[in-house]
Amino acid sequence: MKRFAHVIGTGASVPARVLTNSDLEKMVDTEDEWIVSRTGIKRRHIASDNEASSDMATKAALNALESANVKAEQVDLIILGTVTPDRPLPSTACLVQNNIGAVNAAVMDIVAACSGFVYGLALAKAMIESEQADTILVIGAETLSKIVNWKDRNTCVLFGDGAGAAVVRVSGKPGGILGTYMRSNGSLWNLLTVPAGGSRMPIDFNSMQNGARYIQMAGPDVYKNAVMAMGEAASEVLSRTGVSSKEIALMIPHQANIRIIESTANRIKIPPEKVYVNIHEYGNTSAASIPIALDEAMRGGRIKPGDKVLMVAFGGGFTWGSAIVEF
């Protein structure tokens, strides 16, 4: 039997606490009007002190399993994209495995920043087609609020927390994940980085004092690269799959900046009504942004059986990628 990798269920979870632009006006020198016009963000959800990436990932995974009508014991692989793991060891995927009781699964974290979920879909497709797994949970989960410098207006207005998940399962029926594309450019790693917290610069008194444990970003350079790379990733996956942009029922882009989203859609001539946007509510949740949007779109009736959905992402590293999924 030829094996196809179908997305059969989705789930999401975001923290209850909401931080609005007017809340941020009281914390740093910024204005609601600046944030909305430059980014499209109005609110973001922020984890509580005792909430970590695995907590949200667990809820998103359970929601996805429920919507797919799949039991945790049936999952044989968990792929979790995050740059904000609960701790350096073990992987956050291990914590999720334990929390949901996926006792028959192999699990791993992948660090591809905002591209984590589309990278995960690409791996899931390959693992299913090569008969190495039948039922896979692909998760994106982030608690960026814990690595953001809340005194740096250049970055703190942009990010939020949350998790999203999808169940990908083997089927003999053609369709599912039709094609994927993954790229990276490590020569530009220093444009978006958290300098401290690894083996190069362990957390110590200095990094606690000088901000090196927080996200540092050259915003306009990241912006330019994101526009180019997301356009390329969207075009490339269309040509690889032979799907035309007219056939795309919905585009779900990584939600980093409304202007980047609009320029990506323009490049491949997808009209605004076919572009899913929820950046106003969540900000940039990195690896979680596409699966949160996918889950909202599924539950909101924006995706119907037979629809072809284009997902496209760009993130630190740099990494970028795309996927077309037929539902």
Residue 30 CB, nearest approach to ligand COA (Å): 3
**Taking Cα atoms as reference points, which of 47, 70, 184 lies closest to residue 134?**
70
Q: Does 222 bind ligand COA (CB under 6 A)?
A: yes
Residue 54 CB, nearest approach to ligand COA (Å): 22
Largest CA distance in the chain: 60
Tokens matching residue 26: 């009281």
Per the CB < 8 A criterion, the answer to whether 69 and 118 are in contact is no
Cα-only R_g, the chain: 19
* Phi then psi dihedrals of residue 196, to 5 deg: -105, 160
Q: Does 99 bind ligand COA (CB under 6 A)?
A: no
- Judging by DSSP bridges, how do beta strands 43-45 and 77-81 pair with one another? unpaired
Place of tokens 């087609």: 129
Q: Which stretch binds ligand COA (CB under 6 A): 32-40, 77-85, 88-96, 243-251?
A: 32-40
Measure the CA–CA gap between 101 and 36, rounded to whole angstroms.
Answer: 41
Closer Cβ to ligand COA, 38 or 280, answer by number: 38
Place of tokens 């939600």: 255
Closer Cβ to ligand COA, 21 or 58, answer by number: 21
Closer Cβ to ligand COA, 48 or 185, answer by number: 185
Handedness of CA 297, 19, 140, 41 (dihedral sign): positive
Tokens matching residue 181: 């594309």
Q: Does 291 bind ligand COA (CB under 6 A)?
A: no
Q: Does 220 bind ligand COA (CB under 6 A)?
A: yes
* From candidates 10, 13, 21, 39, binder to ligand COA by CB under 6 A: 39
Q: Does 247 bind ligand COA (CB under 6 A)?
A: no
* From candidates 38, 71, 146, 183, binder to ligand COA by CB under 6 A: 38
Size of the site for ligand COA (CB under 6 A): 20
Measure the CA–CA gap between 103 and 289, rounded to whole angstroms.
Answer: 27
* From candidates 15, 140, 315, 317, binder to ligand COA by CB under 6 A: 315
Q: Does 26 bind ligand COA (CB under 6 A)?
A: no
Closer Cβ to ligand COA, 35 or 310, answer by number: 35
Measure the CA–CA gap between 215 and 257, rounded to whole angstroms.
Answer: 17
Q: Does 197 bind ligand COA (CB under 6 A)?
A: no
Q: Which stretch binds ligand COA (CB under 6 A): 27-35, 78-86, 165-173, 273-281?
A: 27-35
- Residues sharing a CB contact under 8 Å with residue 92, sequence separation 6 or more, in sequence order: 53, 54, 57, 80, 82, 85, 86, 109, 141
- Residues sharing a CB contact under 8 Å with residue 324, sequence separation 6 or more, in sequence order: 177, 178, 179, 180, 237, 238, 241, 243, 248, 308, 309, 310, 311
* From candidates 74, 104, 154, 235, binder to ligand COA by CB under 6 A: 154
State which residue has the least CB distance to ligand COA.
Answer: 219
What binding mask, one character per residue, do residues 295-314 give for ligand COA by CB under 6 A, x or -? -------------------x
Q: Which stretch binds ligand COA (CB under 6 A): 69-77, 92-100, 217-225, 272-280?
A: 217-225
List interacting residues with ligand COA (CB under 6 A).
30, 34-35, 38-39, 114, 153-154, 157, 217, 219-220, 222-223, 226, 256-257, 284, 314-315
